Amino acid sequence: MNRPIVNIKPGDIVSHAEMSFHEGLSLQRGMNYRPKGNTTIILMSQRKGAPYADRTENDGQILIYEGHDVPKNINQSPKTVDQPELTSTGKLTENGKFYKAAMDYKNGSEPELIKVYEKIKDGIWVYNGIFELIDAWQEKADGRQVFKFKLQVTDLTLNEKEVIGKTVTDLDHNRMIPTSVKLEVWKRDKGKCVTCGSTDNLHFDHILPFSKGGTSLIADNIQIMCAKHNLQKRDKIQ
């Protein structure tokens, strides 16, 4: 079972460059199955006009992620063609790799662990945490077949003390703050730490921690904090 190296926390706000730096590769596509043999990564978006119909369920604990289209070419629109499972040479596409991993899980294998990043605005991404891939299927949408992948949030990296030799601190998982809440908080807090006004090393923070009954579903319980003041707040809560 591939296990992720933890170097970024759920709720962290990053640029594309910072995200790519953390992962050690240039993230140019949305589906990245074990790139360079490392942890699987997906890039999602629920923004208006997003190219794929990603959505969340069960208060952010479940992510339904849409598969990806054929590459663009001059002869046809990718949105008119079934999403492919195989390439023209018979190899698995990213859709095919994800689908196989989901079927392997349903047949008794360990679930594929997937790091999820979400684009909330141009140039602004949020790390949503680690999810397990637990199901996959194809369905009809706008006259064609698309892949759907079901992922559930896991606290694996928060509960384990060692992940590939790196110590993991105990943190409250955010249960994936809804996109609408992130956008409302970003606008309200003007993209700055509410304590010092910093625009660096930002994080979506629960005012009342999830473990103490706080919710991810309303903006009143979420604020933007920089890493320094977020850590100070955690020390006071303990």
Q: Is residue 227 part of a domain?
A: yes
pLDDT tens track for 197-235: 999 999 999 998 877 888 888 999 999 999 899 888 765
pTM given for the model: 0.85
Neighbours of 62 (CB within 10 A): 17
Q: Residue 57 falls within a domain, yes or no?
A: yes
Judge if 69 and 146 occupy the same domain: yes
Domain for residue 3, yes or no?
A: no
Q: Are 24 and 31 a contacting pair, CB within 8 Å? A: no
Whether 193 and 142 map to the same domain: the answer is no
Tokens 């294998």 locate to 109
Q: Residue type for 24, please?
A: G
Residue 171 lies in a domain: no
Task: Give the total number of structural domains in the chain.
Answer: 2
Asked if residue 191 is part of any domain, the answer here is yes
CATH of the domain at 83: 2.30.280.10
Q: 73 and 187: one domain?
A: no
- The verdict on residue 137 lying in a domain is yes
- Domain assignment of residue 224, given as a range: 177-238
| Amino acid 42: pLDDT | 97
CB 134 within 8 A of CB 63: no
Strands 112-121 and 40-44: parallel
102-125 confidence digits (pLDDT tens) = 999 999 999 999 999 999 999 999
* Domain-embedded: residue 47: yes
In terms of domains, do 188 and 137 share one? no
Assess whether 22 and 130 both reside in one domain. Answer: yes
Q: What's the gap between Cα 43 and its chain centre? A: 6
Decide if 163 is inside a domain.
no
Note whether 121 and 194 are same-domain residues: no
Residues 69 and 30 in one domain: yes
What pLDDT band is residue 236 in, cutting at 50, 70 and 90? low
Same domain, 92 and 184: no
DSSP notation for the chain: -------S-TTBEE-HHHHHHHHTS---SSEESSGGGS-EEEEE--STT-SS--EEETTTTEEEEE--PPPP-SSS-GGGSPPPSB-TTS-B-HHHHHHHHHHHHHTTPPPEEEEEEEEEETTEEEEEEEEEEEEEEEEEETTEEEEEEEEEE--HHHH-SEETTEE-----------HHHHHHHHHHTTTS-TTT---SSEEEEESS-GGGT--SSSGGGEEEEEHHHHHHHHHHH-
**Can you read off the two tokens belonging to residue 128?**
């949503």
**Residue range 69-95: mean pLDDT, rounded:** 91
121 and 227 part of one domain: no
**Does 183 lie in the same domain as 144?**
no
